[in-house]
Each structure stands twice: as C-alpha cells, then as structure tokens.
Amino acid sequence: MSENIPISDAKKMRSGINIDAEVVSKGEPRTVNLKTGGTVDVCDAVIANEDKSEENQMKLTLWGDDIKAVNVGDKVVITNGYTNEFKGDVSLTKGKFGKMDINP
C-alpha cells in the first residue's frame, strides 16, 4: 500500500490515488442516468489537505450511499481512487475498486 499524497500531486495522476483530506464543502445531490440503464444519485464535494489553498483542493464525486455518509468537516481517506477530467475540472472518485474511510 503506498503513502497518501498531497492533492496537488493527485490532480496530475489518473489512478491508484491514496489521499487523506478534509471535506470543506458539499453540494446538493442530483440524479443521473446510467449508461447501463437506471439512475443513481451523485453529489460533488470539495476536499482539501495541507494548507487548504486552491492547489490543495479538489472535487470529490460521491455516489449512492456515500452521499449521506460524508459531511462537511469529515476527514476522508481514499485508497486506490482515480481521477476524471471534465471541462478542465479534475475530480476524484473512489470508483469500483477503491475504498473510502470516513473519520478514521
């Protein structure tokens, strides 16, 4: 298992991301259509580590049950997460093979 990294480094990576951060904000959940059919709730939160400067903040995409489990002020540890880039904005998600611990 590799070490947790700063968010500024995670933004440059694609997968295998291990990060330890604090939830600084959380948006409203929305429902999206899945490619496989059906729908799922999704919500964007912002996490920060180190000095909480702009470069040490990142969007964290929460899916399904994780939305209710995560609150502003919580500490989250993501293991084996990955990033997506959409319209120039990089976001982190735990994905299917990742793990998220809340207030470990």
Q: For residue 69, is it within any domain?
A: yes
**pTM for the whole structure:** 0.91
Has residue 83 got a pLDDT over 60?
yes
The number of domains in the chain is 1
For 35, 36, 54, the CA distances from 80, given in Å and listed in that order, are 23, 24, 23
Q: Are 31 and 40 in contact (CB under 8 A)?
A: yes
Range of the domain at 49: 7-102
Q: For residue 46, is it within any domain?
A: yes
Q: For residue 2, is it within any domain?
A: no
Torsion angle defined by CA atoms of residues 22, 4, 30 and 74, in that order, rounded to the nearest 10 degrees:
-20
Chain segment 34-62, per-residue pLDDT in tens: 999 999 999 999 999 978 888 899 999 99
Q: What is the mean pLDDT of residues 68-84?
A: 96
Q: For residue 67, is it within any domain?
A: yes
Considering just the CA atoms, what is the radius of gyration of the chain in Å? 13
Q: For residue 1, is it within any domain?
A: no
Q: How far apart are CA 95 and CA 1, in angstroms?
A: 17
Chain segment 56-73, per-residue pLDDT in tens: 999 999 999 999 999 999
Q: What CATH number corresponds to the domain at position 45?
A: 2.40.50.140
